[in-house]
Amino acid sequence: MSRTQLLLKQARLSSIPQGWNISQIGKSCSIRNDLRKPISVDERSTIKGDYPYYGPTGILDYIDEYLIDGEFALIGEDGDHFLKPQEKSQTIYVKGRFNANNHAHVIASTQACSAHWFAIFFKHRNITDFLSRQGANRYKLNKATLEKLPILLPPPPEQKAIADLLSTWDEAIEKTERLIQAKEASLKGQIQKLISQRCDSWPHVKPKKIFDTITEKNFPEEELLSVTQDRGVIPRSMLEGRVMSPDGTTASYKLIKRGDFAISLRSFQGGIEYSNYQGIISPAYTVLRPKIELNRDFYRLFFKSYIFIKKYLNLAVIGIRDGKQISIPDFLSIKIPVPPIEEQKEIAETLSVCQHEINLLKQLADKYKTQKRGLMQKMLTGEWRVKPEVVNQYE
């Protein structure tokens, strides 16, 4: 097997696009780990400033001095982010003045490979085959191994053209995510105004007088659902990546219907989840079904609010540190607000409009990310090429 064939196999590529070549990081890139500087948390606390201090996966702090100035890429030396290359970025592209700690390799541009191209090429690339293990779920990429990583290299003008094209999607994603953050901040303000400031004036009733705890089992034909903190109760088929399937029978799994709520021993972390679906969930959850007239949208939002989690649900938490959990009997005995039904409806309608806008923006961001992943798959392997007249503009 020739060296080129070996590099292609290691890179999980079938061929080299016309006009491109395949190389290794040590031969085509400049590793500038001499620019790294480990600075402890205590020391950083005394030199706060405007210059970012990077770790392997992002900014750790801001300090009043910088050691690096220019265009560079960072790739982690260790960490658990290597386990999820499709979900977590493996590289960081940085321009300007900054610092990096000793857990990130620093890559500078060369005539053969720009730092931007390096960052894009390895951003979501699975390199676990090259890594050494550091205990459970931790991997290490030392400098010697980094130097051996294979990389496809288009001519520099084409590298720049592809990088600029993909940056268009990055800008759209970042703009949408900023809008999401602004809308979420607005929603929190609305919740504070419409719920938090009124809670004390509303009647309070024990949850066991509002909800029945439902234990309906032996529905193996029903769809298997997952309870998530960010999306509520959803079909497992909607989850990305690997999902553990139950071993053996699902006879003990509980039926949950549309409009029910699910609470677990860990609900103190993110509140109680609402189900828009009918199916079966793990027996570890308690299913709550309203037994009095109430507005489900109001409680869907209230059960995820900061005031509910901290002021009410926290009363049902037992244990400390890693042993903390919700006591379901205690939860059913605390008192929670029950506003008049018309007020529930008014509040829910107002907040639902805000939440709907956020959901639409999240769908748009997901769409952009999916488009970008597909585009990267094609562009970074040369299956799709930038038009020559566009590449010529970068020469």
Residues 332, 246, single domain; the answer is yes
The count of domains in the chain is 3
Percent over 70 (pLDDT), the chain:
96
Encode pLDDT of 50-71 as tens digits: 999 999 999 999 999 999 999 9
Residue 287 lies in a domain: yes
Encode pLDDT of 253-266 as tens digits: 999 999 999 998 88
Residues 25, 147, single domain; the answer is yes
In the prediction, which pLDDT does 207 show? 95
Residues 167, 78, single domain; the answer is no
Domain with 385, as residue range(s), is 155-186+343-394
- The whole-angstrom separation of Cα 367 and Cα 279 is 27
- The whole-angstrom separation of Cα 317 and Cα 374 is 44
- The whole-angstrom separation of Cα 314 and Cα 299 is 17
Residue pair 144/110 in contact by the 8 Å Cβ criterion: no
Average pLDDT estimate for 1-14 = 78
Three-state SS at 196: helix
Residue 283 lies in a domain: yes
Residue pair 155/21 in contact by the 8 Å Cβ criterion: no
- Is the pTM of the predicted complex or chain greater than 0.85? no
- The whole-angstrom separation of Cα 306 and Cα 85 is 32
Residue 192 lies in a domain: no
Q: How confident is the model at residue 9 (pLDDT cuts 50, 70, 90)?
A: confident
Residue 352 lies in a domain: yes
> At a CB cut-off of 8 Å and minimum separation 6, what does 224 contact?
235, 236, 245, 246, 250, 253, 279, 280
Residues 320, 390, single domain; the answer is no
In the prediction, which pLDDT does 214 show? 95
Average pLDDT estimate for 165-174 = 93
- Backbone torsion region of residue 182, taken as left when φ is above 0, otherwise alpha when ψ lies between -120 and 50, otherwise beta: alpha
Average pLDDT estimate for 349-354 = 93
Residues 98, 176, single domain; the answer is no
| Position 249 pLDDT exceeds 60 | yes
